[in-house]
Amino acid sequence: MLETEIEATNLFGPPAAGRKVESELRISRDNFNPSGYEAYNFNITTAGEITFDQQLMEGTTGTDGKLKQTFQLPSFSNIGLLNARLFTTVFDETGRPVNRYTEARINTQPAFVGIKQIPTWLSQRRPIGIQLVSLSNAGKAVETRVKLEVVRIQYQTVMEKKYGQIQYVSQRKETSVFSRAVTIKANGFALDYTPPHDGNFEIRVSLIDSKNYVKQNFYAYYGESGSMASYNINREGEIGIEMDKSQYTPGETARILFKTPFEGELLVTLERDKVLEHFTMQAGSAGATLNLKIKEEYLPNIYVSATLIRNIHNTSLPLTVAHGYANIGFNDPGRKMPLSITASSESRSKVAQTITVKTEPGAEVTIAVVDEGILQVKGYNSPDPYEWFFRKRALEVEAFDLFDALFPELGTPSSTGGDRGFDLGKRLNPLAGKRIKLLSFWSGPLKADAAGVVRYTVRIPEFSGKARIMAVSYNKNRYGGASKNMTIADPVVISTSLPRFLSPGDKVKVMATFTNTTKQEITAEVKSIVSGSLTTTQPTSGSIRLPAGKELQLPFELKAGKQTGMAKLSLQATSGNEKYTWTADVPVRPANLPQMVTKGGIIRDNEQVTFSSASELMPGTIETEGLLTSNPMGEYAQNLSELINYPYGCLEQVISKVFPQLYYEDLSKMLSQKPSPLKPDPNTNVQEAVRRIASLQQYNGGLVMWPSGGEVNWWNTAYAGHFLYEADKAGYTTNPTVSENINRYLTAMIKQKPSTAYYFMDEGRWRSRTFSQREIFYSLYVLALNGKQHIPT
């Protein structure tokens, strides 16, 4: 069982009572990494795959803002540590979520067994020192009974050609060569073990009666007697790189140790966005060491890359090349600038507050004051310029290595083989109210005086909650940053669960929350004031008593009238000479999406036609537009904007979308149509199609359907030639070379006079007849348009 206790508190102080809570528990496996045992491996290998189900739970906070929840944990054992991640969401009275993330570690076994790491490759016939430790969850040594086993791993490896490439395929076979139950004392356990054969081995240690184990692999080889069946094909080794410190400052010397799997030539490079420096050295049986002087240009970090190449005369080891990478971080305290913020920790609303920042004389400073709730929703951390400019940078050097591809079989040959867009803006709420007054101030650049002081005054608006004051500074190559919280609350804080908008005729029940932020009881007279298309259906005035540090909720009802528009709701609480107010704009907007009714007909001399839609539409929202024309095209005026679409897709789709847009401008002028601001410019669409056609042309003048290539399409090449002719005729800029190449392609295809067999059903039997391809006739038409008539055809 996992018990959790949730405590929700308003940012302005009092507990958040009666708030809805949602919790989600996710469990995953975690690693056991005790301090002081970095040389030991505690990672557990399980016999099968382990999955965990997510758990969801809901609840409501009590009067003290607290809630206890209990989760049922899975009944797994001997799988190491589990990481329980709890995602909790608390909703305030307006429905706004506030999220928190908590982690907990769950122990599934009485002791954790670790194997001390040993060299991966052992080149001499000598005993292997196996060292074991047993630790409690707290990292303390405990006595444990375990099973120690050594397993030999063999592979049946063959070379095969697959997809035009030579590759090796291996099948794994396991054989137990040593097994014993041993006791790990408080001071550990040690055993010298000599492998009976050469090859790949795996040391496994498990708790008694457990199928899960901790493992350590090694390869034992004796001179040139190693069997190729003893290891899976992998000719790359790993170089361990260790530094004597975790961070360095410029001017220090870093001692870098390279732990190499074999002797050979070692290439070391210092990299980040490029290769900064490089060194070469010989790696012996004990590896290699590099003393590196830290320079200013290495800031904020560099990467040490090591490549080890085996001597060609040493054929006893199957490894040919080894690699290693490590990051070196730097810290330069001289670039950090001191900065402190002095401001009131508590404040009322509607008052002025002065913020004082102390830093170096002449430093540039900026100050921001932002609602903590906004920052929490965004997950925004206070800025720290030093950490930003000197944080770890990514490695931008990409390394390539083909050395491990040099197989012994060097002589083996190989080869590789739209929907309607009318006034979409009206589909949004036409009455957007500024209900939420965001608390956000920014000073802009300020300069510290001779004493290093900067002052910035803000006027706190009607607000309750917590504000975060953030300041950053810089002076030449020095940077500073700091933050401080300010709680803003009046003695009585008012909030509601009011909806963001209402529709005509809506009735809603609203809970008004009055919170006493003081340590004394407050008696207040409360009332509500409405204006616009709003009325109250319950009395909302009277006297209330607010206990110290508690809140009280009062229900009342609102009703929206028949008219749309911006209404206003104001709540007031008066205690003695103090008056506390809360005001919000309430948009009363249409309940339905905008409707468009189109009617038309024919009118003759001395005739009157009446169109009426008032009974179908909401009063005050009707807009009317009329068109009177003698042109028969007027019948299609309402659908004219449907022609405007951006050209995308294959070649045929692109041309089909823009072909009618060649004439859109003339049609819109003829029908007195205004261009839609929500539609792209048709002229731009046409030019984009002209560019797309040119990009799809091939060496023979034909066009493919997609930029990725493929076969030339005859019909669509003629279609494109037709479009380019009409575009040029309409005054658009086209490339004459593209058109000439299309005409050349069409002429060449016509000369071949290809035919196609058409199949049809006649008297119950399938018959076929050969006709000339239809592309011939379309091509002749396009060539004739361009003055390139093919007379012989």
| 420-455 tens-digit pLDDT | 333 444 444 555 555 667 899 999 999 999 999 999
Count of Cβ atoms closer than 10 Å to residue 778 Cβ: 18
Q: What is the mean pLDDT of residues 22-39?
A: 89
Q: What is the mean pLDDT of residues 572-582?
A: 89
Count up the domains in the chain and report the number.
6
Kindly tell me if the per-residue pLDDT of 355 is higher than 50: yes
Query: Is there a single domain that holds both residue 500 and residue 484?
Result: no
Contact present, 770 and 760 (Cβ < 8 Å):
no
For residue 779, the surrounding DSSP H or E stretch is: helix 774-785
Query: Is there a single domain that holds both residue 477 and residue 344?
Result: yes
Helices (H) and strands (E) in the chain, counts: 8, 46
In three state form, how does the secondary structure of 382-424 look? CCCHHHHHCCCCCCCCCCCCCHHHCCCCCCCCCCCCCCCCCCH
The pLDDT-based confidence of 228 (bands split at 50, 70, 90) is very low
The pLDDT-based confidence of 416 (bands split at 50, 70, 90) is very low
Last residue of a domain, one of 588, 604, 619: 588
Query: Is there a single domain that holds both residue 338 and residue 453?
Result: yes
Which domain does 361 fall in, by range? 334-395+431-488
Please report whether residue 418 resides in a domain: no
| Choice among 75-79, 694-698, 711-715 with the minimum mean pLDDT | 75-79
Contact present, 134 and 144 (Cβ < 8 Å):
yes
Return all residues near 69 (Cβ < 8 A) that are at least 6 apart: 3, 4, 6, 21, 23, 57, 59
For residues 567 and 530, give the distance between their C-alpha atoms in angstroms, rounded to a whole number.
Answer: 7
Domain CATH for 566? 2.60.40.10
Mean pLDDT (the chain, rounded): 84
Kindly tell me if the per-residue pLDDT of 94 is higher than 70: yes
- pLDDT tens profile 680-698: 788 888 999 999 999 999 9
pLDDT of residue 403: 63
pLDDT of residue 419: 36
The pLDDT-based confidence of 194 (bands split at 50, 70, 90) is confident
Percentage of the residues of the chain whose pLDDT score is greater than 90:
38
Q: Which residue has the higher pLDDT, 208 or 607?
A: 208
For residues 26 and 5, give the distance between their C-alpha atoms in angstroms, rounded to a whole number.
Answer: 17
pLDDT of residue 449: 95
The pLDDT-based confidence of 675 (bands split at 50, 70, 90) is low
Q: What is the mean pLDDT of residues 482-489?
A: 93
Query: Is there a single domain that holds both residue 757 and residue 709?
Result: yes
Query: Is there a single domain that holds both residue 185 and residue 280?
Result: no
The pair of three-digit structure tokens given for residue 459, joined into one six-digit string: 């006027």
Kindly tell me if the per-residue pLDDT of 70 is higher than 60: yes
The pLDDT-based confidence of 556 (bands split at 50, 70, 90) is confident
- DSSP annotation of 765 reads E
247-248 and 321-330: which strand pairing? parallel
Q: Which residue has the higher pLDDT, 574 or 410?
A: 574
The pLDDT-based confidence of 663 (bands split at 50, 70, 90) is confident
Query: Is there a single domain that holds both residue 668 and residue 779?
Result: yes
Q: What is the mean pLDDT of residues 737-749?
A: 94
Domain CATH for 764? 1.50.10.20
Amino acid at 323: H
| Choice among 64-73, 208-217, 308-317 with the minimum mean pLDDT | 308-317
The pLDDT-based confidence of 334 (bands split at 50, 70, 90) is confident
Query: Is there a single domain that holds both residue 501 and residue 481?
Result: no
| Choice among 24-38, 344-358, 443-457, 525-539 with the minimum mean pLDDT | 525-539
Residue identified by tokens 């004439």 is 663
Contact present, 654 and 647 (Cβ < 8 Å):
yes
For residue 697, the surrounding DSSP H or E stretch is: none
Q: Is 642 helix (H, G, I), strand (E, B) or coil?
A: helix
Please report whether residue 473 resides in a domain: yes
Please report whether residue 607 resides in a domain: no
Last residue of a domain, one of 180, 206, 230: 230
| Dihedral, CA of residue 737, residue 739, residue 745 and residue 749, to nearest 10 | -160
pLDDT of residue 612: 66
Please report whether residue 791 resides in a domain: no
Query: Is there a single domain that holds both residue 691 and residue 757?
Result: yes
> Partners of 535 in the beta sheet?
559
Strands annotated E in 163-222:
165-184, 189-193, 199-207, 213-220
pLDDT of residue 424: 40
Q: Which residue has the higher pLDDT, 172 or 731?
A: 731
The pLDDT-based confidence of 756 (bands split at 50, 70, 90) is confident
Amino acid at 423: D
- DSSP annotation of 788 reads -
pLDDT of residue 227: 44
The pLDDT-based confidence of 242 (bands split at 50, 70, 90) is confident
Query: Is there a single domain that holds both residue 198 and residue 215?
Result: yes
Q: Quick one: which of 548, 689, 561 has its CA closest to 619?
A: 561
Query: Is there a single domain that holds both residue 343 and residue 478?
Result: yes
Last residue of a domain, one of 61, 83, 107: 107
Contact present, 243 and 254 (Cβ < 8 Å):
yes
Contact present, 646 and 680 (Cβ < 8 Å):
yes
Return all residues near 2 (Cβ < 8 A) that are at least 6 apart: 25, 70, 71, 72, 73, 84, 104, 106
The pLDDT-based confidence of 301 (bands split at 50, 70, 90) is very high
pLDDT of residue 226: 41
Q: Render the burial of 477-512: b for 16+ CB within 10 Å, e for the rest.
A: ebbbbbbbebbbbbbbbbbbbbbebbebeeeeebeb
pLDDT of residue 793: 66
Task: Tell the burial category of 472 from Cβ atoms under 10 Å away from its Cβ (0-12, 13-18, 19+).
Answer: buried
Please report whether residue 611 resides in a domain: no
The pair of three-digit structure tokens given for residue 68, joined into one six-digit string: 């206890």
The pLDDT-based confidence of 314 (bands split at 50, 70, 90) is low
| Choice among 36-50, 52-66, 97-111, 621-635 with the minimum mean pLDDT | 621-635
Please report whether residue 94 resides in a domain: yes
Tell whether omega for the bond before 632 is within 30 degrees of 0, i.e. cis: no
The pLDDT-based confidence of 362 (bands split at 50, 70, 90) is very high
Please report whether residue 669 resides in a domain: yes
Tell me how far the alpha carbon of residue 751 is from its chain's centroid.
57
Count of Cβ atoms closer than 10 Å to residue 21 Cβ: 18
Please report whether residue 777 resides in a domain: yes
Contact present, 336 and 474 (Cβ < 8 Å):
no
Tell me how far the alpha carbon of residue 400 is from its chain's centroid.
29
Query: Is there a single domain that holds both residue 659 and residue 526?
Result: no
CA atoms within 13 A on the CB side of 187: 1
Query: Is there a single domain that holds both residue 498 and residue 457?
Result: no
For residue 739, the surrounding DSSP H or E stretch is: helix 736-752
pLDDT of residue 317: 56
Domain CATH for 13? 2.60.40
| Choice among 76-90, 228-242, 297-311, 529-543 with the minimum mean pLDDT | 228-242
pLDDT of residue 321: 83
For residues 501 and 494, give the distance between their C-alpha atoms in angstroms, rounded to a whole number.
Answer: 19
